[in-house]
Homo-oligomer: A and B are copies of this chain.
Amino acid sequence: MRAGHIEYLVTNLKEASRFYIDTLGFVLTDSDSTHLYLRGLEDRHHHCLTLTKAETPGVGHLAFRVRREEDLLALEALYRSKGCRVRWTESGDEEGLGKALRVQDQFGFPLEFYSEMEHKEWMIRSFQEHWGGKVTRLDHFNLLLPDVGAACQWYREALGFGCTEITETEDERPATWAAWLRRKPTCHDIALMTGKGPRVHHAGFFVVDRNSILDCADILAASGYVSSMERGPGRHGVSNAFFLYLRDPDGNRLELYTGDYLSADPDWEPIVWKLNDPQRQTFWGAPTPASWFNDAMQVVDLESSSFVPLADPRISDRPDYLRGSR
């Protein structure tokens, strides 16, 4: 159905709480000594972001919501057929979540699929409690991995994602450098970018409009989080969205995101960008800082709980005009 929730590892829950709840305006659904379960103003379910106390920042798992419980069985069979490690969790193993399927997929990512999550109060009309970034919901995941072409094919053909936009290299026979893929009919639920991986580049959270992002930038700057604002505010070329990239106190990255488009039609032809088009990343032309290309979040191995080892991409992980910026 859609990107469902994500688990970020943080080293200090109190610091994280000040950043995510007091400043960005996430709604706290539940907490225990090692977790904060957060949702957005538009969410009617238990959480879209879990913050888990850990030694090292990174991503615990990424979860997709599916329509029915039987879809989980089909996914189990599908991933087993690819030789992936698969494991079931029972209802309540993850706070607020029904029965779920956990998979370390063939690209190294710790995925979760589920069809049921506990309902929670809809805050959309409780305007008196909206605050800071006024995050409404999770919008998408952005992943770094060495072979975007293979992963793109997998998501489109095996998992039924539609492709809305593509970035190609400028070679004679262009390779797919990045792809924006969707289940829900927006620009994307998942983006795949060429890079050292498997890593999660960021999760994108939706906000209502550009003003929410500008107000949030003011609040971050006034709250001592100037250095948290890594890139933006600005307009993307890809996705057409207005954005602000943030680093949490542990360096985990998230994006505030608004103003993309609907893509409900089955005959949608992917928009194609060239990697070196300077308006691709930032329509207004402002340069992207090197950290945005260099840094990303490592992902956990579901069995060992250590991070999954990284592999280098075979093609460059950034536009030519930024090759010196590593």
Contact = CB atoms under 8 A, between A and B. Distances in A.
Interface of A: 1-2, 23, 42, 44-45, 65, 67-68, 116, 119, 122, 124-128, 130, 136-137, 184-186, 208-211, 214-215, 217-223, 226-227, 229, 233-235, 237, 240, 242, 259, 261-262, 264-269, 271, 278-279, 283-286
Given A184-B262, A262-B137, A267 B227 contact: no
Given A210-B210, A218-B283, 8 more contacts: A65-B264, A119-B269, A127-B215, A128-B223, A137-B262, A184-B262, A209-B209, A211-B211
B229 A217 contact: no
A266 B114 CA distance: 12
Contact of A221 (B209, B235, B271): B235
A286 B244 CA distance: 12
B221 A285 contact: yes
B210 A240 contact: no
B217 A235 contact: yes
Given A209-B209, A286-B229, A126 B222 contact: yes
A121 to B, nearest CB: 12
A124 B240 contact: yes
Given A218-B127, A279-B221, A229 B284 contact: yes
A128 B2 CA distance: 33
A269 B45 CA distance: 11
A218 to B, nearest CB: 4
A20 to B, nearest CB: 15
Contacts of A119: 267, 269
Contact of A124 (B65, B215, B217, B261): B261
Nearest to A124: B240
Contacts of A259: 208-209
A156 to B, nearest CB: 17
A268 B259 CA distance: 24
A285 B185 contact: no
